[in-house]
Amino acid sequence: MTPGTAVSRRRTTAQAGRGPLQVDGEVFSVKRVGDYFHLTIVADGIAERTRPGNFVALSVGDDTSANLLRRAFSIYRVKPAGIYGGTVEIIVAAHGPGTSWLASRHRHDRVNVVGPLGRPFALPKQPVACALVGGGYGSAPLFGLAEKLRERSCTAHMVLGASTEARLFGALEAKRAASSVTVTTVDGSVGIKGVVTDPLPTLLARHDIDVVYSCGPMGMLRAVTSVATQHGAWSQTAVEEAMACGVGVCMTCVLPVVGDDNITRMVRSCVEGPVFAGDKVRWDAIGTVPAGTYGTSVPSRRP
């Protein structure tokens, strides 16, 4: 964290070439996009390791900041080092002190970046038909995913939804990246008036979709998974759970997920996610520890 110390760009001793890096990054640009901010940060080494669905955890403020916890953002785009250093791009909604601090950065400001973190989206081995569903700025990781899918001769049909046009992210870019684009807004300011799950059943049927990828609020992921499962499609969801560390040590970002052994466990969304098979997440039980979860036979502590 301290600029100029050996901390910068220190890579793992055990897993050189793999795993996350901690990089003393430099802001390259901050651009306003609708209600969001598009940050490009020079952070060498991260691009080469990033796969769609990975995220970065950014520190907020300087070495004496009163906001200690890192903020997690799914990675929108990366560019490997060329003439300039490698960059990582994220989309920020400035709704709290940390995100507002990030949104008010200027070119050459320092931001400490840890990443890439988490498990990425699983990619199909066959050239299948895919739907990519994004809510608000949750669409950010879907563009890199669409690119990877099309490299594998998969189709990538995008559905982007938000409450208003200003909260849609990437609708124009989607036209370039995707096989087809469907837009929904709750207020009807653009596209279909409604939510992403309104046009989804028709889209899944028309294109005979095999895999549905989604990223956005929990309620949306739950609804998308339900539609996908009804259609018989495989669901991959990238969750947004509040995190303190992002690297797997704090145990705050847990949610109930069913394992292959059919046992529900409280698993960390930062290292075992953020991408989960949608049908394995106990959406109905988020915010609780459902009965029968591994480790609940012991009397629990009372506040």
Which chain residues interact with other proteins by CB under 8 A? 1-2, 5-7, 10, 12-15, 19-20, 22, 59, 63, 65-70, 98, 112, 114, 241-242, 244-245, 247-255, 265-266, 271, 286-289, 293-303
Nearest distance in Å: CB 15, other proteins: 6
Cβ within 8 Å of residue 202, ≥6 positions away:
none
Question: How many whole angstroms separate alpha carbon 72 and alpha carbon 165?
Answer: 24
Nearest distance in Å: CB 248, other proteins: 4
Nearest distance in Å: CB 132, other proteins: 27
Nearest distance in Å: CB 236, other proteins: 22
The overall longest dimension of the chain from CA atoms, in Å, is 59
In the complex with other proteins, which residue's Cβ is closer, 9 or 148?
9
Pairing outcome for strands 192-193 and 264-268:
unpaired
In the complex with other proteins, which residue's Cβ is closer, 64 or 126?
64
Nearest distance in Å: CB 185, other proteins: 24
**Burial letters for 118-127: b for 16+ Cβ neighbours within 10 Å, e otherwise?**
bbbbebbeee
In the complex with other proteins, which residue's Cβ is closer, 101 or 143?
101
237 closest CA partner among 211, 285, 272, 275: 275
Nearest distance in Å: CB 130, other proteins: 30
Q: How many CA within 13 A on the CB side of residue 70?
A: 26
What residue type is assigned to position 51 of the chain? R
Pairing outcome for strands 36-42 and 55-58:
unpaired
Element (H, E) at 87: strand 87-92
In the complex with other proteins, which residue's Cβ is closer, 205 or 249?
249
Nearest distance in Å: CB 300, other proteins: 7
Question: How many whole angstroms separate alpha carbon 145 and alpha carbon 130?
Answer: 10
Nearest distance in Å: CB 105, other proteins: 18
The region, left, alpha or beta by phi > 0 then psi within -120 to 50, assigned to residue 136 is: left
In the complex with other proteins, which residue's Cβ is closer, 24 or 173?
24
Question: How many whole angstroms separate alpha carbon 62 and alpha carbon 82?
Answer: 29
In the complex with other proteins, which residue's Cβ is closer, 152 or 280?
280
Residue with token string 């690297």:
247
In the complex with other proteins, which residue's Cβ is closer, 59 or 182?
59
3-class state of residue 280 by DSSP: helix
The 8-class DSSP code of residue 155 comes to E
In the complex with other proteins, which residue's Cβ is closer, 202 or 288?
288
Question: How many whole angstroms separate alpha carbon 73 and alpha carbon 124?
Answer: 24
